[in-house]
Amino acid sequence: MGGHFEGGISMSQPDLETMRHSASHVMAEAVLKLFPEAKLGIGPAIEDGFYYDFDLPRALTPEDLERISALMVESIKARHPFIRQEVSREEALALFANQPYKLELIREMPEGEVITIYRHGDFLDLCRGPHIEHTGQIPVDAFKLLNTAAAYWRGDEKRPMLQRIYGTLWPSREELLAYLAHLEEIERRDHRRLGKELDLFSLHEEAGAGLVYWHPKGGRIRQQVEDFWRQRHREGGYEILYTPHIGRAWLWETSGHLGFYRESMYSPMDIDGQDYYIKPMNCPFHIMIYNTQRRSYRELPLRWAELGTVYRYEKSGVLHGLMRVRGFTQDDAHIICTPEQIEDEILEVLRFSLSLWRAFGFEEIQAYLATRPEKAIGEPARWEQALQSLRRALLAEGIPYEVDEGGGAFYGPKIDLKIKDALGREWQMTTIQFDFNLPERFDMVYIGEDGQEHRPYMVHRALLGSLERFFGVLIEHYAGAFPLWLAPVQARLIPIADRHMAYAQEVCQRLAAAGMRAEVDRSGDRMNAKIRAAQLEKIPYMLVVGDREASSGQVSVRLRTNEDLGAMSVEAFIQRATALIAARDNRAL
Partner RNA sequence: GCCCACGUAGCUCAGCCGGUAGAGCACGUUCUUGGUAAGGACGUGGCCAUGGGUUCAAAUCCCAUCGUGGGCUCCA
Q: Which residues, numbered 154-183, are part of the site for RNA (CB under 7 A)?
A: 155, 157, 161, 163-164
Whole-number Å distance between alpha carbons of 73 and 221: 50
- Segment lying near RNA (by CB under 7 A), choices 32-40, 215-223, 228-236, 309-317: 309-317
The distance of closest approach from Cβ of residue 568 to RNA in the complex, given in angstroms and rounded to an integer, is 11
Nearer CB in complex with RNA: 509/523: 523
128 binds RNA (CB under 7 A): no
Residue in 334, 425, 469, 500 annotated catalytic: 334
Longest dimension (CA), the chain: 94
Helices (H), 42-147: 62-77, 89-95, 100-108
Is residue 505 involved in binding RNA (CB under 7 A)?
A: no
Does 234 bind RNA (CB under 7 A)? Our answer is no
Cβ at position 231, least distance to RNA in Å: 21
- Annotation says 332 is catalytic: yes
Q: How far are the Cα atoms of 327, 395, 404, 542 from residue 46, in angstroms, in the given order?
A: 33, 31, 20, 45
Q: Which helix (H) or strand (E) holds 230?
A: helix 216-235
- For residue 359, state whether it binds RNA (rule: CB under 7 A): no
Among 48, 64, 332, 421, the active-site one is 332
Contact 574, 511 (CB under 8 A): yes
In this chain, which stretch among 224-232, 244-252, 344-352, 423-431 interacts with RNA, using CB under 7 A?
423-431
Nearest distance from residue 315's CB to RNA, in Å? Answer: 3
Question: Does the active-site annotation cover 156?
Answer: no
CB atoms within 10 A of CB 453: 13
Kindly tell me which residue out of 91, 231, 499, 582 binds RNA, with binding defined by CB under 7 A.
Answer: 499
Q: Is 267 in the site for RNA (CB under 7 A)?
A: no
User: How far are the Cα atoms of 152, 324, 435, 506 from residue 316, in angstroms, in the given order?
Assistant: 17, 10, 29, 50
314 binds RNA (CB under 7 A): yes
Q: Which one from 102, 144, 286, 312 is the annotated catalytic residue? A: 312
Q: How far is the CB of 36 from RNA (least distance, A)?
A: 20
**413, 381 contact by CB (below 8 A):** no
- Pick from 426, 423, 400, 424: which is nearest to 415 by CA? 400
Asked whether position 466 contacts RNA by CB under 7 A, the answer is yes
Q: Which is nearer to RNA, 27 or 95 (CB)?
A: 27
DSSP per-residue string spanning 28-54:
HHHHHHH-TTPEE----EETTEEEEEE
Q: Is 468 in the site for RNA (CB under 7 A)?
A: yes
Quick note: the x/- pattern for RNA over 6-45, rule CB under 7 A, is: ----------------------------------------
> Would residue 154 show up in a list of annotated catalytic residues for this protein?
no
Give the H or E element holding residue 336: strand 327-337
Sign of CA dihedral 74, 76, 79, 82: positive
Q: 469 and 429 in contact (C-beta within 8 Å)?
A: yes
Q: With respect to RNA, which residue has the nearer C-beta, 293 or 562?
A: 562
Binding to RNA, residues 548-567 (CB under 7 A)? 548-549, 556, 558, 562, 564, 567
For residues 422 and 361, what is the distance between their CA atoms, to the nearest angstrom? 9
Q: Taking CB under 7 A as the rule, does residue 576 contact RNA? A: no
Numbers of helices and strands, H then E, in the chain: 18, 28
Q: Are 567 and 547 in contact (CB under 8 A)?
A: no
Q: Check if 509 is active-site.
A: no
* 437 is a contact residue toward RNA (CB under 7 A): no
* Least distance from RNA to the Cβ atom of residue 406, Å: 12
| Active site annotation includes 435 | no
Alpha helices by DSSP H, 360-451: 380-397, 438-441
User: Could you say which of 42, 287, 305, 325 contacts RNA (CB under 7 A)?
Assistant: 325
Q: How far is Cα 279 from Cα 268, in angstroms, rounded to an integer?
A: 10
Q: Which is nearer to RNA, 223 or 552 (CB)?
A: 552
330 flagged as catalytic: yes
User: How many residues belong to the site for RNA (CB under 7 A)?
Assistant: 72
Helix axes 62-77, 16-34, angle to 10 degrees: 120
Site for RNA (CB under 7 A): which residue of 43, 218, 361, 465? 465
Catalytic annotation, residues: 283, 312, 330, 332, 334, 414, 460
